[in-house]
Amino acid sequence: MADSGQGSGYSLFPLVLLLLFWVLFEELLRRSLSLPPWASVPLGLIACGGFFWLVGLAEEAVGHFSGGARTSAAPPPGIKTTEMKIEHIGIATRSIEDALGFWRDALGLEVRHTETVEEQGVNVAMLPAGEPRIELLEPTGPDSPVAKFLEKRGPGIHHVAVRVPDIREALARLKAGGARLIDEEPRAGAGGCLVAFVHPASAGGVLLELVEHAAGAEADTHHER
């Protein structure tokens, strides 16, 4: 995905690189083909240009090397960022009851919704904090992905969920940009939500959940899958 993505901050680096390679190619041509300098200097520049052009092509083919990361200030055209919001923050805990001692009793948030999601092996408690929610996740058994997370990392932020207007479009765009998706297709969530997870390897070490609300279903019943 070629894009006007390069920020500033490159400045002289490409020029220095170009000069270095120019000198290198010139030297190579002069020595290997015994060319005089009047021929090897321009030919060196041409070879150098060709080399950079190929590198550029290869870079584009690989999808910007870094898994499609962009650094442009503006989002790609057609993205409605105003329709994206933090939907909830998932926090892994060994015991929801213990965690509520802080989030509900000390901080003062209200538990709006609790549920057990069998297939994910989690008990969930949702505590709205303004529009976004704190989602407490407690494993129901040792095989639950959240149990494995707790074993490895301890209690803490497990994932961040972002609400998107069109989850299939968001997944397609992420995939085209080289992002590693855990769910290529959205799964059904409660309250008619569609959800899909993006691998932390593509999201700066954060497990990212995308959520699309069903038309007309505002927030209240969505929960963890």
Q: Which is nearer to Zn ion, 161 or 198 (CB)?
A: 161
The CA–CA distances, whole Å, from 120 to 44, 143, 159, 223 equal 61, 9, 14, 12
**Smallest separation (angstroms) from Zn ion to the CB of 188:** 14
* Residues near Zn ion, by CB under 5 A: 90, 161, 209, 224
**Residue 112 CB, nearest distance to Zn ion (Å)?**
14
Query: What DSSP letter does each residue of 140-164 carry, written as one string?
Result: SSTTSHHHHHHHHH-SEEEEEEEE-
Quote the tokens at residue 38: 């009047």
Nearer to Zn ion, 47 or 167 (CB): 167
Neighbours of 199 (CB within 10 A): 15
Q: Report the C-alpha gap between 178 and 181 in whole angstroms.
A: 9
CA distance 180 to 174: 8
**Do the beta carbons of residue 111 and residue 100 sit within 8 Å?**
yes
Cβ proximity to Zn ion, 161 vs 196, nearer residue: 161
Minimum CB separation of residue 178 from Zn ion in Å reads: 24
CB of 215 to Zn ion, least distance (A): 20
Alpha-carbon gap, residue 93 to 157, rounded angstroms: 9
| Structural tokens at position 50 | 């060709």
Residue 179 or residue 207: which is nearer to Zn ion going by CB?
A: 207
Shortest approach of Zn ion to residue 49 CB, angstroms? 50
Nearer to Zn ion, 26 or 209 (CB): 209
